Amino acid sequence: MQRAILQLLRCPRCRRGGLRPETDTAELLFGPLHCAECHARYPVAEGVADLVAEPASSALAQRGLEQRLVARSYERYVRPALQRALSAPPMDRDSEYLLYRSLLGHPEAPVLDLGTGTGLFARRLARESGLPPVVGMDVSRAMLEESVAQAHEDGVRVDLLRAEAPYLPFQDGSLGGVLLAHSLHFIAELGRLLLEVSRVLRPGGRFVASTWIPPGRAATFVQRSAGLHPREEEELKDALAAAGLGGFARLRLPPLLVVKAEKPVR
């Protein structure tokens, strides 16, 4: 993890202190980070900071994403299969990436790929010249391990951390953009999440998120039974406004509902 990202981290336990390595370094691959306020310690291995103190309690769908086999086959088989199950034909990956990229605008500070999974979009963002550093966050160790492997394979630099939304372990106003692709329906506490997004974004920073449009009552029921949280446009619009995020825009591209909002410049 490079210094530019380390400097932005905030302790998820006391939610006050910055996180520091034992010695100042341009890049931290192994070794602990400690909180300057509460002295909590968090391990870093292969550059991935693990900020989850307690094992996360996972719903059924999330437990699947904690499996190595699922993580290894995610980009090639699992993701396309999920999209095919929800609509035919699904949007191709390049179009999806270009959509998110254009909605993110011109970030002037690091971009967080929240629920990064295997880093599919984090790697694409990191390859773009002229963008600030990209940091991927996910709660699944298996997905992050796969993300490290894929980034090595592609020769791309993505800083990664294990942490559990809705809390975001970043300092106030430290990020230029937050992308949450295909993951909004995994987060139970929508209001809390959006308040956190609003807190960590710089003025003018954008939040871009996508979720699966619930295709009818039966599918909504199945998603809920798997521990997911299908959400409609109106609910998202109201929750974004309540969190102080303006400039709402949305695209319905079945199976995806994509929303964009912005931290106002005062």
Ligand X SMILES: C[S@@+](CC[C@H](N)C(=O)[O-])C[C@H]1O[C@@H](n2cnc3c(N)ncnc32)[C@H](O)[C@@H]1O
Look up residue 132 and give its DSSP letter. Answer: P
Residues in 150-179 that interact with ligand X by CB under 6 A: 164-165
Minimal distance, residue 104 CB to ligand X, in Å: 14
Nearer to ligand X, 21 or 151 (CB): 151
For the CB of residue 204, give the shortest distance to ligand X in the complex, in Å: 23
What would you report as the CA-atom Rg of the chain, rounded to the nearest whole angstrom? 17
Q: Do residues 171 and 112 touch, judged by C-beta distance below 8 A?
A: no
* Segment lying near ligand X (by CB under 6 A), choices 1-9, 26-34, 40-48, 115-123: 115-123
**Residue choice 143, 190, 213, 256 for contact with ligand X (CB under 6 A):** 143
Q: What is the torsion angle, in degrees rounded to the nearest 10, for the CA atoms of residue 228, residue 234, residue 236 and residue 239?
A: -120
Please give the Cα distance from 40 to 63 (Å, whole number): 27
Q: Minimum distance from CB of 69 to ligand X (Å)?
A: 14
- H-run or E-run covering 136: strand 134-138
**Is the Cβ of residue 131 or residue 226 nearer to ligand X in the bound state?**
226
DSSP-assigned letters across all residues of 162-195:
E--TTS--B-TT-EEEEEETT-GGG-S-HHHHHH
Nearer to ligand X, 116 or 174 (CB): 116
Confirm or reject binding of residue 72 to ligand X (CB under 6 A): no
Among 10, 72, 124, 182, binds ligand X (CB under 6 A): 182
Binding flag, residue 93, ligand X (CB under 6 A): no
Binder to ligand X among 1, 8, 51, 65 (CB under 6 A)? 65
* Residue 79 binds to ligand X (criterion: CB under 6 A): yes
Q: For ligand X, which residue has the nearest CB?
A: 117
Number of H helices, E strands in the chain: 10, 12
In the complex with ligand X, the residue whose CB is nearer, 21 or 208, is: 208
- Bridge pairing between strands 48-50 and 44-45: antiparallel
- Find the shortest distance in angstroms from Cβ 190 to ligand X: 12
Report residue 6 as tokens: 């380390």
Question: Hey, what are 154's tokens?
Answer: 């592609």
For the beta carbon of residue 155, count every other beta carbon within 10 angstroms: 8
The binding site for ligand X (CB under 6 A) comprises 62, 65, 79, 115-117, 120-121, 138-140, 143, 164-165, 181-183, 186-187
